[in-house]
Structure 1
């Protein structure tokens, strides 16, 4: 498991607030990669994500939508932290007001921005009990060759969003402009199919990424922009020998609308997926119904 260095942003109805940092020590590992060196044992209380990727550098980043209990615990912890910090916050606010008033009395500007009254809504709080934004470590693959990886990842059961692309412990790109979600059930291996990745400014021979690549170097920011696609699982594809007889089920994907970007180097969208995900002048379209998917702001 590699934790993402990005803050977990609010995704309205999708991702409820459980903000975490890569340096948090209390949060347990949520993704555990299973390599081909050990037998695969399916635990009845854990979910498993199976996917293939065409790039050894950029890993998919998965967001698990927090449970109602986790959300309640977050707000309770935030309230407790705010109550503890409130005296100091009020003291700092009063000092800032006094400084502003003293400067005004002398006909001077204080030079500092005036802070607002301390409030729970604006309180900067980082939760360290839940780590639900994770990138898979592609170095620990069930099967791998020079470039491609077949990953099997143990994870908590729940609803997930294909949130972006990471490199090592950093979240490089979020798929903030449109992506997909899926449910991973306990005791099952959820097959996500193939998640191809290429560099967006360079042309790609991958038909899935053809329309998302060859865009020129101007799309790059501090880091090269990756293009990410999805090829849903094919029931005719052979099952790896290590998974023979195991409960492998194809993922049931849903289109996910736009959401607010966390602090990342670049933002992008998941490439269109026939019959599942499409776009119309920036709007995210559910490919099954043809209807626009609500944004998550």
Structure 2
């Protein structure tokens, strides 16, 4: 069972001023065009197509940490808290630079295995585990979290998990992208101090672009489930991922896991 998203956010990230930045590390490596694709049996792989027609947004994913990682984080936090002095505030909201194993990873359109028109095809090597599609941004910086509803998935070792295609648009303006229906043309409420963006994920289709040299037998469509609302104080904007037929739906502010019809509870 997945641990709550808020708990995993607090576990293994580098805390910093907004917006949240992904830590450069060996946890993730994007395979680039011309590089032979060889799958390591102890590593997992994710494949996603990022629509760059509107902007070159990156996709951000969050790995659910293990109990051992959680304990290491709590130990480091307690030590930093004890050394922080009188202005440290309450322990629950204490922020510090954690140098442990990162779990916030960016899939960026600047490092692609292929281009298919305006779709940046990204293939990345990551640790096996359970993940949350956390938000979108620029390069390694989170601009907008999917704090009001998103999806989770698993990435298993030695295989490629295909997330499908992500689309982006201005939330305040119309968009011809059908997957964004209901998330766009919101008017002035979506563009005040900062512009809100609408984001949709279309699960893998048979005609989706695939990298040359990737064995189709090693690729499986992601099995998604709904993830309920959570809080992130290190993001500039908050929105939700657009509904996905058969996977993710909304009933007012409630996030619904379509597979079982149950509410995905807040984290």
The TM tier, using the shorter chain, reads 0.7 to 0.9
Alpha-carbon distance in structure 1 between the residues aligned to 2:173 and 2:23:
41
Note if 1:38 corresponds to 2:35: yes
2:116–2:209 Cα contact (<8 Å) kept:
no
Tell me how many residue pairs correspond in the alignment: 259
Query: Structure 1 pair 41/285, CA: closer, same or farther in 2 (3 Å)?
Result: same
Alpha-carbon distance in structure 1 between the residues aligned to 2:23 and 2:242:
35
Cα offsets for 1:231-264 (capped at 9, x unmatched): 1112465643221355111111110000013322
Quote the residue 1:168 is aligned against.
139
Quote the residue 1:198 is aligned against.
169
Quote the residue 2:220 is aligned against.
249
SS at match of 2:11: coil
Q: Which runs of 5+ in 2 are unaligned?
A: none
The 5 Å alignment of 1:16-165 reads 16-21=10-15, 28-55=25-52, 56-83=55-82, 85=83, 89=85, 92=86, 120-121=91-92, 123-144=94-115, 147-165=118-136
Cα offsets for 1:7-65 (capped at 9, x unmatched): xxx83455452231479998734221111121111011111000112125111111111
How does the TM-score come out when normalised to structure 1?
A: 0.79
Alpha-carbon distance in structure 2 between the residues aligned to 1:174 and 1:26:
17
Query: Structure 1 pair 27/198, CA: closer, same or farther in 2 (3 Å)?
Result: closer
Larger radius of gyration: 1
State which drifts further: 265-274 or 233-242: 233-242
How does the TM-score come out when normalised to structure 2?
A: 0.87
The 5 Å alignment of 1:178-189 reads 178-189=149-160
Question: What is the deviation of 1:270?
Answer: 0.5
SS at match of 1:73: helix
Q: Which runs of 5+ in 1 are unaligned?
A: 1-9, 94-114
Higher fraction of strand: 2
State which drifts further: 262-271 or 139-148: 139-148
